[in-house]
Structures are given as structure tokens and as C-alpha cells.
Chain A
């Protein structure tokens, strides 16, 4: 069964304290892995797409990496405005194309 698991469920950091969020997946026929940011009461905001193992993408303080089994979202020197829920999703073509979302990691950055 296709699955996407994100860890930790919640992460509390001090401003400037770098860390990583994990997204583990077991799917057949990966067609893309996506990272989104979601603020409370809002729709997800697209961050990155990764397609193949070894690929990396960066945007400001965020860097996403991908292996054959997991993806990491590295946050360098986070600021309070980085506080949000970060969602990982994979698109697979098992039994028809489908996008599966993880439960998300709630990030809190304290000043």
C-alpha cells in the first residue's frame, strides 16, 4: 500500500536553530514528490518538486533533498515567520495517478 509518513509531528525551534523535517514514502512508480507550506486556515502553498534521487532544490532558508525512500526539508537559521505546517506529497501512478499527502509537520519557531 502506498504510504507517506512525516516526522516529527511537531517541531519547536529557537530562532536560528537549524533542523530537518523528514518525509518517508513507500510507493511504486513515483512521479514526483512535493513540499507545501500551510498556514492555519489557509490552503497549501507550493514550495518544491523533486523528481529523482539525488535531486536538491533551495529557496531562501529551505532546502529539499530526495533519496529513493525519503525526502528531507532542511531549514537553516529559521525565523518566527517560518512557523507553519509543512506538508509532503507524492504522486504515484499505481492504479491510476494519485497524489498522496503526509500528515504534515507543525513547525514552531520562537524568537
Chain B
């Protein structure tokens, strides 16, 4: 399958600081990128969907000013957690797909980023 690289794999930051997570598609052009959040022993919760060159579409309840998503190229999307607080600690996962959102093709996931805010 296609390869999506996510970096960093883990990060610890102080409360009030910002953290940037990168998601790169290595062998395909990711027209669409998805960002998920996952709590222990729970499933993936979609946070936002972005198409290259467009503003991200955020799910209900997700603060767009807190979770900044940039999808400036077909191979790179970033998620910036601004003014992080301990409750933002979680496992964040990105996925990329070579399609626009109106498709039935599978998406491929990055390795995930474990964020711990202290």
C-alpha cells in the first residue's frame, strides 16, 4: 500500500506552547488528508478533512483556531496544536488519500503522534 509518514512519533510540550505535527505522503499525491484523534482503547475520531490548497473542514466540536491545519501541497499536511493544555494530550493520526472526498477509495495512515502536554 501507499506510504504516509508522520513526524514526530511522540512529543512532550509544556502547557501553553504550540506543537506542529507533519504528515507526508511519500509515494503518492494526497489530494485529501484526514486528521484523527484517538483516546486509549477507543476508535479514531475524525477532527478535520483537508483538500490541497483549500481550507480544512472541521468536524463539529473541533476548535479550528486551536487545531490549525495546513495542506499547502499534495504531499504535506500539518496540524498545529496551539496553546496546548493537558486535555489535548492524545494520539493524533493523519491519513492521506489520492482522491477528493467524494470517493470510495481507501486512505492510508501515518504512524501516529503521541502528544503529552505537561
Contact = CB atoms under 8 A, between A and B. Distances in A.
- Note whether A and B form a binding pair: yes
Interface of A: 31-32, 34, 36, 41-46, 49, 51, 87, 89, 91, 93, 96-99, 101-104, 106
Interface of B: 1, 4, 6, 34, 41-44, 46, 91, 93, 95, 101-112, 114
Contact of B104 (A32, A43, A46): A32
B39 to A, nearest CB: 11
Contacts of B6: 43
A87 B112 contact: no
Contacts of B91: 41
A36 B103 CA distance: 18
A45 B95 CA distance: 11
B24 to A, nearest CB: 13
Contacts of A87: 43-44
Contacts of A49: 104-106
B82 to A, nearest CB: 23
Contact of A104 (B43, B46, B110): B43
Contact of A42 (B104, B107, B112): B112
Given A87-B44, A101-B44, A103-B42, A43 B112 contact: yes
Q: Give the interface SS of chain B, mostly helix, strand, loop or mixed.
A: loop
B106 A102 contact: no
Contact of A32 (B4, B42, B106): B106
A42 B111 contact: yes
A79 B114 CA distance: 28
A91 B104 contact: yes
Contacts of B93: 43-44
Given A43-B93, A43-B111, A99-B34, A31 B104 contact: yes
A31 B34 CA distance: 17
Contact of B114 (A41, A45, A102, A104): A41
A89 B42 CA distance: 13
